[in-house]
């Protein structure tokens, strides 16, 4: 471009030299050369300025590329942060969306700046083609440089704002994490509190249930004690009234004897016998009082005797299965829990004899637990092999592990009396097969003592411990061998052989499994 201008200036100089004289031409030639030189200088300055502008443009392009790279990195970081922020609550999500909007704006501005840079390149090409528009192009480049500077400043501000936002978001994330940890701790504490509350509530329910049971038991025992006290008080009153009636009869006899003596005295009818008459009158009044007192005591004693006779009659009717008499006596207020001198009540007599209709009449008022240290109703039923009574009593709450005075349960008594069906019924209803009495004897000890092989087989089938020792350190097998009870010995030997065979089979199966595993491992190694 500069050479073309120089050629034009040279052609103009030649034309001026050919068209004018030598004197004026030299002057014009000098002026033209000066103008050409000045133009060349200006063109050189413009070219230098253009080169500087191109250098600045390259720097701007590098800056833009660096900014774009930074923006891409920031976008990647923001995407990672966005994935992390998705785990938190709505505040992190809204903040992430705002950050993404700001990044979108920055990207748009970068795209605009890139478009402007493309326009500047096109303008630079136009400057190379048209030298006449160099100033305008330079001005435009200057404006573009200013715009780029402003854009750079804006980008710096945006990056600073993004950094601040990022630091705020990081601080917010840390705060949210702390809040989340606090919330998790609160949730765990609430969970622990809930579990402890449930546990305390369950314990309270259990304690309430236990206290209710204790209260029921105390009420039952109190009722039983009151009945016993009433029975004892009745006996004492009968005894006391009997002695009072006897002493009253003796007093009446003595008074009558005194009156007869007074009537037989000859001084009674003479005027001098006034003292005797007064004494006779006194004896007669005393006799009248004694007879009235004797009558009231006799009536009361008769009533008490009738009550005692009613309880005895109820026990007799219960023992003899006299339902109508039992119903009539219950309506009169007799109690089925009052024991006789042997400790047996009407309810126990009915259970011992298996009279279910009478037992059903007694169930609403009877003491079904009757733990008096002797023999419970359930043990009586098991002793006499009344299976239906056993089921009925257990259904109404009888204690299956209740014991008699020597510590025997119903299962012990059933085994001791060779009642296999009753023993099976008790085991089916949950009786403890390994229960022992006060001397440490299990049910199997009783079977071994009396050579009851079928019940021994039943107990062994239910898993009774054959190694239980009593206070004399004797097992059931030792007792059977001492008594030479061969049938029980054979049952115990068969059970031992079966257990040994089961152990051997288990060992064989284990060995087979080990052999199969070894063969599989060997095949795998060979392959």
- The whole-number pLDDT of residue 259 equals 76
Structural domain spans, the chain:
2-184, 433-527
Q: How many CA atoms lie within 13 A of 395 on its CB side?
A: 9
Contact 386, 358 (CB under 8 A): no
Environment class of 59 (CB within 10 Å of its CB; exposed 0-12, middle 13-18, buried 19+): exposed
Contact 401, 372 (CB under 8 A): no
For CA atoms 10, 12, 17, 18, the dihedral sign is positive
Contact 145, 56 (CB under 8 A): yes
Average pLDDT of adjacent 10-residue blocks, the chain of 527 residues: 49 51 66 78 79 79 78 75 66 62 72 72 68 68 74 79 80 83 83 81 79 64 61 66 75 79 70 70 80 69 56 82 84 77 82 88 71 76 92 88 90 94 93 94 94 94 92 93 91 78 60 55 53
- The whole-number pLDDT of residue 412 equals 95
- The whole-number pLDDT of residue 20 equals 47
CATH number of 433-527: 1.25.40.20
**Taking the model in full, what pTM does it have?**
0.46
């Amino acid at each position: 471009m500069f050479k073309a201008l120089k050629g034009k200036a040279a052609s103009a100089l030649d034309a001026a030299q050919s068209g004018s004289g030598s004197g004026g031409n030299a002057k014009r030639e000098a002026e033209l050369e000066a103008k050409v030189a000045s133009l060349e200088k200006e063109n050189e300055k413009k070219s230098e300025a253009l080169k500087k502008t191109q250098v600045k443009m390259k720097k701007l392009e590098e800056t833009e590329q660096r900014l774009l790279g930074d923006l891409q990195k920031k976008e990647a970081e923001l995407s990672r942060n966005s994935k992390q922020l998705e785990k938190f609550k709505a505040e992190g999500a809204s903040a992430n969306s705002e950050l993404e909007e700001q990044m979108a704006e920055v990207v748009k501005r970068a795209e605009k700046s890139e478009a402007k840079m493309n326009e500047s390149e096109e303008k630079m090409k136009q400057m190379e083609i048209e030298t006449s528009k160099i100033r305008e192009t330079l001005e435009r480049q200057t404006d573009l440089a200013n715009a780029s500077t402003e854009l750079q400043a804006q980008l710096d501000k945006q990056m600073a704002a993004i950094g601040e936002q990022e630091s705020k978001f990081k601080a917010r994330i840390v705060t949210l994490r702390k809040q989340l940890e606090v919330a998790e701790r609160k949730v765990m504490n609430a969970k622990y509190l809930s579990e402890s509350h449930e546990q305390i509530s369950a314990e309270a329910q259990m304690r309430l249930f236990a206290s209710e049971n204790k209260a029921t038991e105390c009420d039952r025992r109190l009722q039983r004690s009151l009945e016993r006290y009433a029975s004892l008080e009745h006996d004492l009153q009968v005894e006391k009234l009997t002695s009072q009636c006897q002493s009253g009869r003796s007093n009446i006899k003595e008074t009558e004897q005194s009156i007869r003596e007074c009537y037989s005295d000859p001084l009674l009818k003479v005027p001098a016998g006034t003292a005797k008459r007064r004494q006779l009158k006194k004896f007669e009044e005393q006799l009248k009082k004694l007879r009235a007192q004797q009558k009231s005591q006799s009536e009361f004693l008769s009533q008490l005797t009738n009550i005692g006779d009613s309880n005895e009659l109820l026990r007799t009717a219960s023992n003899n299965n006299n339902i109508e008499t039992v119903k009539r006596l219950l309506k009169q207020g007799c109690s089925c829990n009052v024991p006789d001198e042997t400790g047996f009540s009407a309810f126990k007599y009915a259970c011992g004899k298996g009279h279910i209709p009478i037992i059903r009449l007694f169930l609403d008022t009877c003491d079904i637990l009757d733990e008096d240290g002797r023999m419970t109703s359930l043990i009586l039923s098991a002793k006499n092999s009344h299976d239906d009574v056993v089921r009925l009593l257990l259904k109404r709450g009888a204690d299956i592990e209740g014991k008699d005075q020597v510590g025997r349960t119903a299962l012990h008594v059933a085994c001791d009396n060779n009642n296999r069906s009753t023993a099976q019924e008790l085991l089916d209803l949950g009786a403890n097969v390994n229960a022992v009495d006060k001397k440490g004897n299990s049910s199997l000890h009783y079977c071994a003592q009396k050579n009851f092989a079928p019940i021994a087989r039943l107990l062994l089938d239910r898993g009774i411990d054959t190694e239980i020792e009593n206070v004399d350190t004797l097992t059931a097998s030792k007792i059977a061998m001492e008594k030479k009870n061969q049938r029980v010995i054979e049952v115990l030997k068969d059970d031992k052989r079966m257990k040994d065979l089961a152990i051997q089979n288990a060992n064989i199966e284990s060995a087979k499994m080990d052999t199969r595993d070894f063969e599989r491992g060997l095949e795998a190694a060979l392959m």
